[in-house]
Amino acid sequence: MTCYCGTNTPYASCCEVFHLNGGKTETAEQLMRSRYSAFVLANGDYLMQTHHESTRPVKEKEAIVTWAKSVQWIKLEILNSTETTVEFNAFFTDKGAADCIHENSKFVKENAIWYYLGYAQSKQ
């Protein structure tokens, strides 16, 4: 099966590796892709584990998992990637209506492990 994150590699040799190793990715983009796959799989534990402790929404975990299960994920599109940011579109349908999450995510690396911080400020 091709990985949910759109890399055209099997899930077992792509995001599943990170889901099993606690999110130890080499790049912020790999972490972002693995987090997208975790949303597709409604893997709330992984989403919390890879979210930086300073911004981790622990109290919202159940709601996040419930929402992730309620939508049909279509695809991930990476628009831009730097060392610490990843801009992307995540396409899904909710009750039959097409929708898209557009985000410019910010990441930080601590003790050789990448973590999701939240939204980066967009330049206008």
124: β partners: none
Tens digits of per-residue pLDDT, 19-64?
999 999 999 999 999 999 999 999 999 999 999 999 999 999 999 9
Mean pLDDT of 85-113: 96
pTM (predicted TM-score):
0.94
User: In the structure encoding, which two tokens stand for residue 27, read together?
Assistant: 């790049």
b/e burial code for range 56-72 (CB count within 10 A of at least 16 → b): beeeeeeebbeebeebe
Question: How far is it, in rounded angstroms, from Cα 35 to Cα 114?
Answer: 12
Give 81-111 as a DSSP string: E-SSEEEEEEEEEETTEEEEEEEEEEEEEET
Strand segments (E) across the chain: 72-81, 85-94, 97-110, 113-119
Region 10-16: what's the mean pLDDT?
98
Does the domain made of 11-119 have the CATH classification 3.10.450.50? yes
Residue 1 confidence (pLDDT) = 87
Please give the pLDDT value at position 63.
Answer: 98
Domain parsing of the chain, residue ranges: 11-119
User: How confident is the model over 62-86, as a mean pLDDT?
Assistant: 97
Residue 18 has pLDDT above 90, yes or no: yes
Report pLDDT for 116: 98
pLDDT of 124 strictly over 80: no
Neighbours of 122 (CB within 10 A): 9
119: confidence class by pLDDT, cuts 50, 70, 90: confident
Please give the structure tokens belonging to residue 66.
């419930």
Q: In the predicted model, is pLDDT for residue 83 greater than 60?
A: yes
